[in-house]
Chain A
Amino acid sequence: MGFDVLLKGTNFARLLGGLGVAMKISMISVAISILLGVLLGSLMTRDLPVVKAVSRGYLEFVRIMPQMVLLFLVYFGTTKALGINLSAETASIIVFSLWGTAEMADLVRGALTGIPAIQYESSYALGLSTAQTYLHVILPQIVRRMLPLSINLITRMIKTTSLVMMIGIVEVLKVGQQIIEANRKASPNAAFGVYATVFLLYFVVCYPIGRLAKYLEKRWDV
């Protein structure tokens, strides 16, 4: 079945190393996306026409553009056009953060505007101060609304890191390819075993995260 090549030498460890690269890129991008997304999202709820127009345009652009095109644009495009020499990893973090920030900002905006005014008012009417209202009434609702959706975004990001091998990053999928290539003669069936293992690795990482999202959604079904 071709699983045997993984037991040769350090092949399996290399695969895990590739997974580590993918996780590193996605986790850094997630952190940046959450930070910038919360900022941009809160800004979008303000009544600022310029901010609204710019952020809307940015959101649409990032959504329409395939991530791979965006990767090429940032990695190859900037080098030629702007004369900046980005490492492939930096380029992919920039692209994933651009994408994640857009999606997070939209989630934050939705969560903020989705809280009805009556929630603030009934809290004030009970004598709670503005700070207490945000702390005990508004913020918990925002976090509950956002968390499952942001977790979904994280799993999508991890999966999409498989694209970064196109700009030369050796992540899990690329390591898999290399192993198959190197063992073409000795084990011609390696493709199945290696790709199945790569699939399983993605599954092992993403499935628990997805379950967590489902669990929270159910628990916080409000």
Chain B
Amino acid sequence: MSEEILQVSGLVKRYEDLTVLDRVDLSVRKGEVVVIVGPSGCGKSTFLRCLNGLENIQEGRITLDGETIDSTGAKLNKVRERIGMVFQSYELFPHKTVLQNMTLAPVKVRGVSKKDAEAEALQLLERVGLLSKKDQYPSRLSGGQRQRVAIVRALMMHPEVLLLDEITAALDPEMVREVLDVVISLAKEGRTMVIVTHELAFARAVADRMILLDGGKIVEEGSPEEFFEHPKTERLKKFLESFSYQE
């Protein structure tokens, strides 16, 4: 098996009295796609946000390639360059065109020349079928188009790990597919990803490993096959049942 890149041990996240994440352990190997599912409010989005230092944590340790991720640390920006994140929605910068959205961080943070950044951006846009939108402002794009731009904008930083936080949850149903297809193609080229989603069919198609998070704890984890066909815990059985309809 290939090396572990992201490690989480004993992660505890509390908001005052409320414990959102309760001693979560996880390690992600290079090239692995981990999909986290769970009921609303189970802490799965918070978990992703902790991985990127957007939330401070009370206990435990998160490391990327041995480097600790600490929301208060001075080196946080350096680590964040290596972890990409795409959110539910409204994250493109509305005052910048698609191309400017994509080149801002590489030019300002990585010090890439504007020309090189633009060349790379154009390639990525072509790949997700949005080359013709390069000079548009985000307000002129559909939700699905925006999310595809958000994904390739994250890729511009050459992240070692990509975090996707319910990226289709705010989309119209017919736009979900175009976004998820992009994610599936990223999985095929061996990107390391941690994905939070409600789309179980997509999860099954893209995941190397499935995780059910509930009450701030990992309830069950396993290969997609075990997870969907042979759930071991009652909790997972119930969770999966809530997605199927019977006459």
Contacts and interface: CB of A to CB of B under 8 A. Distances in A.
A137 interface: yes
A121 B154 CA distance: 13
Contact of B108 (A122, A132, A144): A132
Given A128-B108, A220-B95, A121 B54 contact: yes
Interface of A: 116, 118-119, 121-129, 132, 136-137, 140-141, 144, 220-222
A125 B80 contact: yes
Contacts of A220: 95
A115 to B, nearest CB: 10
Nearest to A142: B95
Interface string B130-162: 000000011100000000001001100100000
Given A118-B87, A136-B108, A222 B154 contact: no
Nearest to B156: A126
B109 interface: yes
B104 interface: yes
Interface in B98-127: 104-105, 108-110
Contacts of B109: 126-128, 132
Interface string B73-96: 000011011011101011111110
A176 B225 CA distance: 88
A210 to B, nearest CB: 23
Contacts, number: 71
Main secondary structure of the interface of A (DSSP, over half): helix
A96 B154 CA distance: 48
A144 B52 contact: no
A220 B108 CA distance: 23
Contacts of B108: 128, 132, 136
A42 B87 CA distance: 28
Nearest to A125: B85
Contacts of B157: 126-127
Nearest to A127: B81
Contacts of A123: 93
A132 B109 CA distance: 9
Taking each of B52, B54, B138, which has the highest tally of chain A beta carbons within 10 Å of its own beta carbon? B54
A116 B104 contact: no
Contacts of B89: 118
Contacts of B95: 140-141, 144, 220, 222
26 contacts: A118-B91, A122-B87, A122-B93, A124-B54, A125-B54, A125-B80, A125-B84, A125-B85, A126-B84, A126-B104, A126-B105, A126-B109, A126-B153, A126-B154, A127-B105, A128-B104, A128-B105, A137-B104, A140-B95, A141-B94, A141-B95, A144-B95, A220-B95, A221-B139, A222-B95, A222-B138
- Closest 8 pairs between A and B when the two form their complex, measured CB to CB: A127-B81, A122-B91, A222-B94, A126-B105, A125-B85, A127-B109, A127-B80, A140-B95
Contacts of A128: 77, 104-105, 108-109
Taking each of A121, A125, A132, A222, which has the highest tally of chain B beta carbons within 10 Å of its own beta carbon? A125
